Amino acid sequence: MSISLIILAAGKGTRMNSDLPKVLHPIGGAPMLHHAMQSGAALSPDNIVIVAGHGADQVRKSALEYDETAQIVLQQDQLGTGHAVYQARDTLKDVDGKIIVLYGDTPFIRQETLEKMVAAESDLVVLGFEAADPARYGRLIHDGDRLDRIVEFKDASDEERAVNLCNSGVMSGDARLMLDLVKALGNDNAAGEYYLTDLPALAKARGFTTSIVICDEAETIGIDSRVALAKAETMFQTSARTELLENGVTLQAPDSVFLSLDTHIGRDTLIEPNVIFGPGVTVESGATIRAFSHLEGCHVARGSVVGPYARLRPGAELAENTRIGNFVEIKNAQINEGAKVNHLSYIGDAHVGEASNIGAGTITCNYDGVMKHHTDIGAGVFVGSNTMLVAPVSVGDGAMTASGSVITSDVEPNALAIARAPQVEKSGMAKKLMEMLRAKKARRSRGN
């Protein structure tokens, strides 16, 4: 069966008090729009239509970064949810199967919930939830799982307000029927808008069947303020940590570990406290990420140890059984199997060969102020402490550099490179120099 997603992402989000479109505010290191797209993508849809409005160019760019097949349509005037869905009519005019309407600011709808909606046999399905505090949610007036109508709180009678089953806004149904019903919506209301919530009553009036699928309230949380955004972040982190623990990852202090939407960590990996995983991180099974490390856009192979206090930046590629130690930064560099960068070093735009050892304080000097340059370190190399490798430069297999060297030329395999000024010693000069400096300080204090 063909499935088409329509994701509404046109709102400004005034209460966010931000220049950024509401759906682009991040949860777990990714725009909340991406969360909604990921939920729908689990159904392998044939079409994904994003309805953009405020900040449409930014929304379009973000959506296409996640899925280049997404189609973007514009809701020029914000005239309600029904009007927003209507903007997809031309894009989906020839589709069959089912349409699912999601919201870019409702990021936590589960795959299983959407599958239940698609599997429902009725012509139109609304996602409902039982609210702990129904407050001003629209109510689903129903008979069992058969939906009669949706009543907005302000229009509900006391009896209807007593109903605890609330409307999430998420809806699914026959594609041609939904587009036809949306076209028939009226705007005879105080706001002069076209509401998607009127569809069930229209469908029933035409003799079509309507039903309800119920989910947990936590799935339906909508983000319309910074407070709600913070709550959503907490919910995401709690869920992501739990999933890792259930999949065999050890988190020594789960509440101190922060994950991203696309974080992948293999089982039997140990994560120590206060570790942050930015977007684009994969850690294979059996690795160890020590405390206070920050990883982003990198790959860590099995058996590797990272940290404590390490930073892996985008393009860091660690092979099996590598060691990246305290206060080490790796950026756009491949570290081959068994290599070690254990202390106080920066390795950027580089390749480090198998079983090489990078001494403390080593820096690959990769930037000349205009362009980046590459450093190639071979296998079995020993780089002495406090070595500056001025790129572009290569160090051959089995070579060594003397501590404190500034390497500006390629080093042959198995060679020892020494690039530092000879030590000069001047007898008694330290005492004379200190006496001169103290006398100068004394003169200054007397105002001379």
Length of the chain: 448
In 3D space, the residue among 320, 326, 330, 323 whose CA is nearest the CA of residue 297 turns out to be: 330
Helix, strand, or coil (residue 332): strand
| Residues 343, 337 contacting (CB under 8 angstroms) | no
Is the model's pLDDT at 361 over the cut of 90? Answer: yes
In the chain, which segments carry CATH 2.160.10.10?
A: 226-417
What six digits make up the tokens of 180?
């036809």
For residue 125, give the H/E element and its range.
strand 124-130
Task: For residue 400, count CB atoms less than 10 angstroms from its CB and return exposed for 0-12, middle for 13-18, buried for 19 or more.
Answer: buried
Q: How confident is the model at residue 448 (pLDDT cuts 50, 70, 90)?
A: low
What pLDDT, in 10s, does the model give residues 299-309? 999 999 999 99
What six digits make up the tokens of 223?
């983000």
Helix, strand, or coil (residue 405): coil
What six digits make up the tokens of 128?
């409902």
Q: Which residues are 338's β-sheet partners? A: none
Could you give the CA distance from residue 214 to residue 130 in angstroms, rounded to a whole number? Answer: 8
What six digits make up the tokens of 64?
């296409």
* CA 122 to centroid of chain Cα atoms: 36
Could you give the CA distance from residue 110 to residue 292 in angstroms, rounded to a whole number? Answer: 32
The dihedral built from the CA positions of residue 244, 245, 251 and 257, taken in this order, carries a sign that is positive
Least reliable range by pLDDT among 83-92, 179-188, 240-249, 294-303 = 179-188
Residues 101-120, buried b or exposed e (16+ Cβ, 10 A)?
Answer: bbbbbbbbbeeebbebbbeb
| Residues 393, 408 contacting (CB under 8 angstroms) | yes
What pLDDT, in 10s, does the model give residues 9-40? 998 889 999 999 999 999 999 999 999 999 99
> What is the structure's pLDDT at 233?
98
> What is the structure's pLDDT at 132?
86
pTM to 2 decimal places: 0.90
Query: Percent of the chain having pLDDT more than 70?
Result: 100
> Which are the catalytic amino acids?
343
CATH annotation of 3-220: 3.90.550.10
> What is the structure's pLDDT at 208?
95
What six digits make up the tokens of 41?
């993508």
Compute, in degrees rounded to 10, the torsion defined by CA atoms 111, 258, 244, 278: 70
Whether CATH 2.160.10.10 fits 226-417? yes
What pLDDT, in 10s, does the model give residues 314-333? 999 999 999 999 999 999 99
Is the model's pLDDT at 297 over the cut of 90? Answer: yes
In the chain, which segments carry CATH 3.90.550.10?
A: 3-220
For residue 333, give the H/E element and its range.
strand 329-335
Is the model's pLDDT at 348 over the cut of 80? Answer: yes
Q: How confident is the model at residue 78 (pLDDT cuts 50, 70, 90)?
A: confident
What's the longest Cα–Cα distance across the chain? Answer: 106
| Residues 415, 434 contacting (CB under 8 angstroms) | no
Q: How confident is the model at residue 124 (pLDDT cuts 50, 70, 90)?
A: very high
Could you give the CA distance from residue 412 to residue 245 in angstroms, rounded to a whole number? Answer: 48
In 3D space, the residue among 201, 191, 193, 143 whose CA is nearest the CA of residue 171 turns out to be: 201
